Amino acid sequence: MRLSNLKINVNDLHGVGKNTSQLLSKLGIINIGELLTYFPRAYEDRQTKRSFNQLETGKAINTQITVTGKEFFGFGKKRTLKIFVTDDTGTASLVCFGRSFLDKQIHIDEQYYLYGQFTIKYGELQCSSFELEPVTDKPKNFGKILPLYSLSEGLSQKTLRKLVKQALDLYGKSLEEELPQSILSKNNLLNNSIALKYIHFPNNWQQYEQARNSLAYLELFNIQLKAALDRFNRRNLKQKAIKSKNKLQEQLIDSLPFSLTPDQSQAIQDINNDISTPHPMYRLIQGEVGSGKTLVAFLSALNAIEQGYQVAFMAPTELLAKQHGENASQLLMPLGIRIAFMSGKLKIKQRSILLEKLKSGEIDLLIGTHALFSSDVQFKSLRLVIVDEQHRFGVEQRKELAAKGHNPDVLLMTATPIPRSLALTAFGNLDISTIQTMPMGRKRIETHLSKQDSEQKVYDFIKKELASGHQAYFVYPLIDQSEKLDLLDAESMYIKLQSEFAPYHCGLIHSKIQEDLKTQTMKEFQENKIQILVATSVVEVGVDVPNATCIVIVHAERFGLSTLHQLRGRVGRSELQSYAFLIYSTPLSEEAKQRLKIMKETNDGFRISQEDMAIRGPGDITGVRQSGFMNFVIADITVDGDLLIKARDDANSIIKEDPDLENPDNYCLKWIQ
């Protein structure tokens, strides 16, 4: 039986009654499989000797002692036993709060194993939380490595250890192997049963490391096997290859007042190669904020349109979708491309006309928001689906849009650069193009940190930039005042900033403002009729105003790293020197300090994403947390990069050589089909 199919209820274990069962369920443990994969969070090393003279903060003393004396201090209920002990390096005292019963169990001149956290107090080495065990040939705990589990109130380490050991004894040896023997031998991995035994109860640290590597590899391999099989199956899907002469692409490139960066050119070549095959493309373009991903997307759309197909371009917000619509109109309409914009706010008559034209093929490129998912949105010949800021859409949503065509090419875009280990895990079934080179002439954005009570200095700097004809953003975490949170908000500060920066004009934008007014405000900001845009994080993506050189992010400690990086990317979109001011209020949590420090140190989106993954976890970054896909039990892709590459290469090799898994050595992998 596979471990994941071991659904026998924990109530079948000896010693598990109603109360213990309820305590286990609070930990998410209902069945034996869940118990065996409830791995230790840490371990107590009662194997390595640490004598009294090796006192070190955070490390326990683990030594053999002789009891030299006992006494009581205090009176009445506060009367407390104190035990004096010595090892071969020195002396110490054990203070037995609430444990006076030890007076009868611990005897002078006898030897014991001692484990506990010691400190120097009142001029002596002292411990009040300790474990003693008589010295024998077969000690219960000393000389061992003991697992430490996360617990629910009422459940002890001792109880959980006993239950795990019982489950291993009853079911561990009968578990099916989940990896081919060839893979186990090649990578020096333990079989499933032994790995489970050693991850819970290793006899030494070498066994622990091998068990942890074996189980982490299995977890990563299963993901990579699914990705490899998905890629193989996709190659079996058929569609008509696009053999375009790239005339429209060349016309657009020739019309641009600048040259494409090397990375943009390479991404376009990757896409052209993909769509020229008889198999659907499934590619992710990742790149820095302002690196020109949208232009690459437009260029990729032209080849499909040139051959008479249609393209769907979806963005997560109305603001971003409209920005794409405006850019597409400027760049593509002169080439004769028929463009339409769809949102959920179209009037019934307008929507009806648009849907008829789309179905009849009179629209080449449809740009919109979630409205593109609607069942009445039907294409005549959808060939390419482009999804911007893909992590804001669920996996199933992306599939739903692609289902409106016959095996269409899919191009995903993200301005959140993804570390390689995360890309191989979350997007292992995609091909990836990376745009790191920025357009010529761009300068590094200067980032400054400032306490909230020093903001006047920031205001004075902004005024100098405005006097030079430039523009600025002010971003706040709240739309309006909150009774629960003592934070500045966009609406209140909009009024204050109008006075502070008069005679310059201010605009306000946030999610509660009507779309028409929001669109008008953005238009005036782009035209420099508004010099200061006061906003919430709604401007995180899609706002492109090259003349804006300053962004002030207030209560920056309230924003995540990815959002801070995206917001900072609203400036620095021309050859002008740009500045980001992160205004923070105190006290700061350690995590907030870490985020602000990283933002100050680097503009590198890939490093920021790596740090963000370490802080938040991979699921939030990739937008797949809700599916449970990235909730690793033991693997950690921030440290298991090498293991991940091995798992990927092995999975690819197996599917390439034996896609139907008919080799007897691969029978254990049949579950995936």
Using one digit for the tens of pLDDT, what is the confidence trace for 478-493?
998 887 888 999 999 9
| Per-residue pLDDT, 611 | 81
Percent of the chain residues topping a pLDDT of 90: 59
Per-residue pLDDT tens digits for 320-363: 888 899 899 999 999 999 999 998 778 888 999 999 999 999 99
How far is 202 from 211, CA to CA, in rounded Å?
8
Closest CA to 340 of 330, 349, 352, 329: 329
Closest CA to 637 of 427, 394, 424, 434: 424
Q: Which CATH number fits domain 66-143: 3.40.50.2300, 2.40.10.480, 2.40.50.140, 3.40.390.30?
A: 2.40.50.140
In this structure, what is the dihedral angle of CA atoms 351, 317, 305, 378, given to the nearest 10 degrees? -40
Beta bridge partners of 534: 474, 508
How far is 517 from 301, CA to CA, in rounded Å?
31
Residue 56 confidence class, pLDDT cut points 50, 70, 90: confident
Amino acid at 43: Y
- 8-state DSSP, 547: T
| Per-residue pLDDT, 84 | 96
> Alpha carbon of 274 to those of 62, 280, 387, 422, 425: distances in Å?
62, 8, 17, 23, 22
Whether the domain at 1-47+144-176 and the domain at 282-435 fall into the same CATH topology? no
Per-residue pLDDT tens digits for 611-665: 877 776 554 444 444 333 456 789 887 788 889 889 999 999 999 999 999 999 9
> What is the dotted CATH code of the domain comprising 1-47+144-176?
1.10.150
Q: Could you write out the DSSP letters of every residue in 466-509?
A: HHTT-EEEEE-SBSS--SS----BHHHHHHHHHHHTTTS-EEEE
> Alpha carbon of 252 to those of 205, 259, 313, 384, 480: distances in Å?
61, 11, 18, 19, 44
> What is the dotted CATH code of the domain comprising 446-602?
3.40.50.300
| Per-residue pLDDT, 629 | 42
Q: Where are the domains of the chain?
A: 1-47+144-176, 66-143, 282-435, 446-602
How far is 266 from 22, CA to CA, in rounded Å?
57
Q: Give the architecture-level CATH label for domain 282-435.
A: 3-Layer(aba) Sandwich (3.40)
The pLDDT of residue 501 is above 50:
yes
| Per-residue pLDDT, 673 | 74
Closest CA to 622 of 398, 293, 410, 298: 398
pTM score, two decimals?
A: 0.68
Amino acid at 386: I
Report helix angle 605-616 to 590-601, nearest 10: 170
| Per-residue pLDDT, 370 | 83
